[in-house]
């Protein structure tokens, strides 16, 4: 197996930084790994999982969304101004661009998304942006708008709301575009309604003890898609008990191992 780093233009012409893990022989499929809110390509389980995909024979591309605020490092958010402008549409556009760059006609392509990344993957396929062999959704919410009524009112009045990063001690902000695009085009942000049009099989993994996104969201998504496999991970939290950073050759938690075993079986 080998890796290489890359940079390409994403939504709005902003850069996406990524790392590709390739198997030694000819790949038997392609996987795009989408991180969650305040996540990035090097966060926690992502390098380890990308390496597992490569060992299984898949070419795995983990990347930073163009408006994640993260560039090529694993340090602080270098572009909080971009983070403030991030929306579901910017993420779906990034996935469309990545699919156009990395999908191969003779190989099945899979989307893998954690938390908010899982929603973006389901939205992209549900909107018919492109066809995939399957979607792997981990710890994903079952709706696009997770903001309280109070937060939405503040966002509309002030233009942003505070969203601190516990990892970097930075004060980040969610900007008005995140909410405004959903108000302008609610049909394109009705996750469960869009999920009903997904023909590809969907693997849904969720920790039973997830304190960030309730495990009931997994059942909500499963009830919407046509071909769903649900795995609720006993004792699993939002990141399946994986620390950050986590070495690519580290020993996975029982919960992360359960996740990988389910993925391998599903594939």
- The domain that holds 122 is classified in CATH as 3.40.50.1820
The residue among 98, 96, 4 whose CA lies nearest residue 50 is: 4
Contacts of 185 (CB under 8 A, 6+ apart): none
pLDDT score at 28: 97
- When divided into structural domains, the chain yields a total of 1
Contacts of range 127-132, beta carbons closer than 8 Å, 24 or more positions apart: 127/92, 127/188, 127/194, 128/197, 129/92, 129/95, 129/96, 129/99, 130/96, 130/99, 130/100, 130/103, 131/200, 132/99, 132/108, 132/200
The pLDDT of residue 1 is above 90:
no
State which residues form the domain around 45: 2-266
d(CA 259, CA 39): 19
**Span 44-51, mean pLDDT?**
98
Sign of the torsion formed by the C-alpha atoms of 164, 165, 171 and 173:
negative
Per DSSP, the three-state class of 16 is strand
pLDDT digits (tens, 9 = 90+) for 170-193: 999 999 999 999 999 999 999 999
pLDDT digits (tens, 9 = 90+) for 52-100: 999 999 999 999 999 999 999 999 999 999 999 999 999 999 999 999 9
* Tokens encoding 233: 């991970």
Is the full-model pTM beyond 0.95?
yes
What value does the mean pLDDT of the chain take? 97
pLDDT score at 58: 98
């Amino acid at each position: 197996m080998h890796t290489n780093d890359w940079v390409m233009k994403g939504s709005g012409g902003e850069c996406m930084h990524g790392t590709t893990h390739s198997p030694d022989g000819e790949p038997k499929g392609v996987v795009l790994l989408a991180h969650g809110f305040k996540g990035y390509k090097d966060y926690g389980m992502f390098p380890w999982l990308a390496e597992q995909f490569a060992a299984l024979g898949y070419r795995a591309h983990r990347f930073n969304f163009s408006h994640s605020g993260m560039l090529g490092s694993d340090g602080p958010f270098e572009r909080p101004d971009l983070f403030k402008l991030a929306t579901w549409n910017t993420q779906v556009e990034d996935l469309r661009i990545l699919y156009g760059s990395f999908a191969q006609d003779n190989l099945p392509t899979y989307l893998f998304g954690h938390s908010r990344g899982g929603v973006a993957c389901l939205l992209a396929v549900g909107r018919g942006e492109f066809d995939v062999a399957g979607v792997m959704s981990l710890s994903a919410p079952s709706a696009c708008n997770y903001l309280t009524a109070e937060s939405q009112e503040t966002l509309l009045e002030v233009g942003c709301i505070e969203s601190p990063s516990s990892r970097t001690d930075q004060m980040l902000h969610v900007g008005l575009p995140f909410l405004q695009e959903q108000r302008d085009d609610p049909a394109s942000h009705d996750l469960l309604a869009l999920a009903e049009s997904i023909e590809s099989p969907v693997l849904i993994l969720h920790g039973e003890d997830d304190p960030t996104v309730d495990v009931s969201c997994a059942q909500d998504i499963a009830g919407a898609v046509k071909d769903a496999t649900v795995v609720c991970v006993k004792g699993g939290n939002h990141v399946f008990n994986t620390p950050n950073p986590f070495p690519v050759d580290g020993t996975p938690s029982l919960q992360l191992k359960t996740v990988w075993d389910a993925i391998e079986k599903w594939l």
